[in-house]
Amino acid sequence: MDNKKDNEHICCDTVEVHESIVNKIKAKSLEDELLYDLADLFKVFGDTTRIKLLWALDNQELCVCDLAEILGMSMSAVSHQLRILKQTRLVKNRREGKNIFYSLDDHHIHEIFEKGLEHIREL
């Protein structure tokens, strides 16, 4: 990438506020608390281990033992990351006898994951 060329278009040559556009966007503004929650959600996606877990769970519902084997991690480390994913409602679990199986919380998580991959593959 040519940084010099990219830097040429960072800022306008003049200061001119397009008030109708600015007012339209301001009218749609979101509450700060909602934006903080969204930022926290994206922070969770910022960890490679959690992305690996989401990838595995995007393929199939799995238990901690299976996830630990797939990722080559300890069950304790997997459980810790699953706890974070569960707190942010990215994964859910269900009990079947003595086993607890994890899966993506809903179709939105699948879509976020797939859109992220699609974006990265285009680079």
Task: List the domain boundaries for the chain.
Answer: 13-122
Q: What pLDDT does residue 13 have?
A: 81
What is the DSSP annotation of 53-66?
A: HHHHHHH--EEHHH
Interacting residues of 113 by C-beta distance below 8 A, sequence separation 6+: 54, 55, 58, 104
pTM: 0.79
Percentage, residues of the chain above pLDDT 90:
81
- Tens digits of residue pLDDT in 43-97: 999 999 999 999 999 999 999 999 999 999 999 999 999 999 999 999 999 999 9
Domain over 13-122 is classified CATH 3.40.228.10: no
Give me 16's structure tokens: 């001119």
Q: Indicate if the pLDDT at residue 123 is higher than 90.
A: no
